[in-house]
Amino acid sequence: MPSLFTLFSLLGVFFVSLQTAVAGIPGKIYGVNLGSWLVLEAWMLPQEWLDMGGERCDDCSTCVATEFAFAQAHPKTVDSVFNKHWTTWFTQDDVNKLKAAGINTVRVPLGYWLVEGLVDRKTEFFPRGGILQLRRGLKQLKDAGMQVILDHHALPGVQTAGQMFTGRCTNDVEFYTDYNYHRALVWTAVMTAISHLHSDFSSVFAIQAVNEEIMDADQTPGYGDFTKNFVRTVRAVELALGISVPGESPFVSIAAGANFTSTISAAVSASVTLNNKIFTPEVRAALRDAIPLLVEVSNQLGLGFDLSSSLRHREPLVTTFMDINWQFNNPANPADAAIGPQGYDNHLYYSFGGVADANEQAYMESICNLNRVQADAALGNSPLWFGEWALPTQFAASDEFLFKWADAQKLAYSEGRGWIFWNFKIEISDLAGDTARQWSYLEGLKRGYLTQDPSQVHNPHVCDPYKNVSTAAVKRHLRRK
């Protein structure tokens, strides 16, 4: 009876045109998020959302304001409507503009429903077909030389209450349960395998476990164990595929011509003694449950059955978490989960309050004395990048201030591994108003707030008048509404 690692080695027969190395983490990240593409947030494209058949309401849980609600309300048309959105919201023209702007990294928010077999269609409602659009977009980004973080943005069961970015606006938060932790691990196994095995995914260098878990660690029971199982799942898939992981040895080298379909039934039920540090019972269960879903995904992507090269020289993916200081009330340290390369993500929005007083002076004093990179490094959370930030403020910001505000944030975040702006674009419409001015990277470039070379700023001395000024402690940001 074949072992689990033999089973995963046989997955290679589904994939063609392998690359010899996965993309490594950039020396300095200059990036954007592809928000509202494969996880739609209607506030960024309000007119298109209404045109699609969605609704607007003050409380997003009370109307058709999310993908879940849309799919539930429009089951016969949801797939075609969303396919049109996916095709038009992120295009080759966008890729060309981002490449011309010097962007080297793209963070792609994804929902668990991208792996369609994970969805309980009796109680969960989401569009189908996103994996094909992801493949299309990743190929375009790869061809443009940009590297990618796959961000598990919307988790099974919903990880944060009342937020469009979870795919379902609800106060019924159920992610922090054994059942949904397990589904997230299965998703992780599938996406790890595809990232290594499919050539169009070869620019993926990292997978993020969870976007913005609840900040109060008392409300996230079991999350520390999940972080460790997330890393183990990524590394288990890699070791099973013959990929070297620091401190571990790959089990196999993949042989071309193996017949995966003839062995799948036996292999799914196989149980063997493996590396207990990584192949724990929960991880082995996640790998077993991932097998049929990988077959489904391979069929969706129309993959062949020939293996063209070995995986042995591939680099392991960078496992990624929100940094330890994202949470309070004695959170687990994600650094304790690390096996191989790992990165940490911090999000900072001043516009929701709780960071600095609502005036230009306070904002500049705060950002110019930011110590998050140093605070995280002291707890082993390095390298750190700022995976979400933008230009919005709690006050009416002048153009003059936004030039300074963009420069100061870029300088602060570049003290770490770099930054990823939210969002790459915002709808230009009467309904969207002036939202793009402070939330769209491409609009910020057009208006001149952001420099054409992302490594540069207009004024490298912008923070000099504000350095070492006594400021209130920098607090955690509140999530965008």
DSSP summary character for residue 394: S
Instruction: Give the three-class secondary structure for 244.
Output: coil
Average pLDDT for 222-245 = 95
Q: If you write DSSP's letter for every residue of 176-232 in order, what string do you get? A: SSHHHHHHHHHHHHHHHHHHHH-GGGTTEEEEES-SS--SBGGGSTTHHHHHHHHHH
For the segment 365-372, the average pLDDT, to the nearest whole number, is: 98
Tens digit of each residue's pLDDT (9 = 90 or more) over 383-396: 999 999 999 999 99
Phi and psi at 66, nearest 5°, equal -140, 170
Averaged pLDDT of the chain: 89
Span of 115-119, 127-131, 180-184, 291-295 with lowest mean pLDDT: 291-295
Does residue 212 surpass a pLDDT of 80? yes
DSSP label at 21?
S
> Which of the pair, 470 or 475, is modelled with greater confidence?
470
Q: Residue 476 pLDDT > 50, yes or no?
A: no
* Averaged pLDDT for residues 157-173: 97
What's the confidence (pLDDT) of residue 24? 77
The whole-number pLDDT of residue 470 equals 58
Q: Say how far apart CA 267 and CA 252 lie, in whole Å.
A: 16
Class of domain 4-343: alpha beta
In this predicted structure, the answer to whether residue 480 has a pLDDT above a threshold of 50 is no
* Percent of the chain's residues with pLDDT above 70: 85
311: pLDDT confidence band, cut at 50, 70 and 90? low
153 three-class SS: strand
Q: What is the pLDDT of residues 122-131, one digit of tens each?
A: 999 999 999 9
E-assigned strands of 209-363?
318-322, 342-347
- The mean per-residue pLDDT over the stretch 183-200 comes to 96
pLDDT of residue 257: 44
Q: pLDDT for 14-72, tens place per residue?
A: 444 444 445 678 999 999 999 999 999 999 999 999 999 999 999 999 999 999 999 99
What local confidence, expressed as pLDDT, does residue 302 receive?
Answer: 79
How big is the chain by its Cα radius of gyration, in Å? 22
Q: What is the mean pLDDT of residues 343-361?
A: 97
What integer pLDDT is reported at residue 276 of this predicted model?
74
Specify the pLDDT at position 275: 61
CB-based contacts of 77, cutoff 8 Å, min separation 6: 53
What residue spans define the domains of the chain? 4-343
* 417-441: average pLDDT: 99
* Amino acid making up residue 453: D
Give pLDDT, residue 468.
86
